[in-house]
Amino acid sequence: MSTEPRLIQGNEACAEGAIYAGMRFYAGYPITPSTEIAEILARRLPQVGGKFLQMEDEIASMAAIIGGSLTGAKVMTATSGPGFSLKQENIGYACMAEIPCVIANVQRLGPSTGVATAPAQGDVMQARWGTHGDHPIIALTPSSVREAFELTVRAFNLAEQFRVPVILLMDEVVGHMREKVTLPQPGEFPVVNRVKPTCSRENYYPYKADGDKTPPMACFGEGYRYHVTGLFHDESGFATEKPEIIDWQLKRLHEKINQHLDEIITYTSEETEDADLVVIAYGGTARAVSRAVKLARQEGRKVGIFRPQTIWPFPEAAIGELAASGKKLLVAEMNYGQLLLEVQRVAAGRSEVHSCLQSNGELTQPDVILTKIREVYEHAPGN
């Protein structure tokens, strides 16, 4: 890989990050604003011995990557809102059957077809609750081109480590924005591979997990001859309707994530130490917030920014700390208030929670955020 800086798009960084992480199987369906990921991988994957497949629809793409993953490949698909909706059933399948895979969702304005080329962050709750049933989910959200690369690698690492689908929740701003980046050299970032069983076929229970709650995963074609289903199943992988086994399985699916929150959750926080007001923002919006915070500081207002990179599981402990310190919180996002609900829940009245919401197809401008910062900052607590 070149050590020269390159001017590339977020979508291209995502594609390169995937290859860096060892992804060698992509199946997708073209949809704006994610299409460049497919186009780049259609060219790049065969060059590195990988497989690229354009499926007949979004649902099939999700199904195909699960099939590919079962043979041992690191797999991904990319989509946007309408396609993300269609993929949900099979994302649920991947959660249930514990199949590592990465789904990049380059968010556009919705609902429905919305505006194909306009940025939005309206899929935050869909990423969390899009499928039916209860299960945890991991979703990462980058704010820059460089971070699109890094978080894509991370998405694969987490998917492989925990045998889960991981959602890379980009937005149109980050996907289409171009920045100068030097892509990391091999070895610069860790690359995680799933744990395979070492036992014999007779002793292999595909859903029997040790303390970390994630079971080793055998590849199809390697002689383990096991069964995979979206039905509730016992350790052997076969369907069951016994309440005590359903309970065991569902708890384990939650625990395998919840026991590792410290490893999974990452965020950045700038100038929050002395801040009276902390703006919480992510993705493209966080860029405008950075600018607004800088301007607010120049005006003498003590404002900081907290930017979750892991949006799910929600960085509850970190935001809880901010709330407990009594700092005012301001959530800026391109939707009608989705992460806001989580911040309000965690703050639980311990600090004021304000919002700067916009969902009109345009990136929120720094001056809009600055105006809101001033307004919130001047307000007496409780007003």
Partner 1 sequence: MLPEIEQYFRLEKLPHMWCPGCGNGIILHSLVKAIDKLCLDQDRTTMVSGIGCAARASGYLDFDTLHTTHGRALAFATGVKFAKPELNVFVLTGDGDCTAIGGNHFIHAARRNINLTTIVFNNNIYGMTGGQYSPMTPNSCRATTSPYGNLERPFNLTELAIAAGATFVARTTTYHTKQLTDLIIEGHKNKGFSLIEVITHCPTSFGRQNKMGTPADMLKWQRDHGISAMRYENLNPEERADKFIIGVLHKTEAPEYTTEYQKLLEKLG
Residues that bind partner 1 (CB under 8 A): 25, 27, 46-47, 49, 51, 53, 55-57, 59-61, 63-73, 75, 89-90, 93, 220-231, 238-239
**Which is closer to partner 1, CB of 28 or CB of 366?**
28
**Which is closer to partner 1, CB of 228 or CB of 245?**
228
Helix or strand run (H / E) with residue 35: helix 35-47
Least distance to partner 1, CB of residue 237, Å: 9
User: What is the distance between the alpha carbons of residues 366 and 285, in angstroms, rounded to a whole number?
Assistant: 9
Residue with tokens 């965690």: 346
Least distance to partner 1, CB of residue 285, Å: 34
* Chain centroid offset of residue 26 CA: 17
Least distance to partner 1, CB of residue 93, Å: 5
Burial class (CB in 10 A: 0-12, 13-18, 19+), 137: buried
**Which is closer to partner 1, CB of 101 or CB of 145?**
101
Least distance to partner 1, CB of residue 159, Å: 16
**Which is closer to partner 1, CB of 87 or CB of 154?**
87
Contact of 200 with 226, CB cutoff 8 Å: no
User: What is the distance between the alpha carbons of residues 46 and 55, in angstroms, rounded to a whole number?
Assistant: 16
Least distance to partner 1, CB of residue 170, Å: 23
The dihedral region occupied by 55, where left means phi > 0, alpha psi between -120 and 50, and beta the remainder, is beta
User: What is the distance between the alpha carbons of residues 282 and 154, in angstroms, rounded to a whole number?
Assistant: 17
**Which is closer to partner 1, CB of 227 or CB of 345?**
227
Other beta carbons less than 10 A from residue 188's beta carbon: 10
Least distance to partner 1, CB of residue 86, Å: 11
Tokens of 359: 């969902």
**Which is closer to partner 1, CB of 66 or CB of 353?**
66
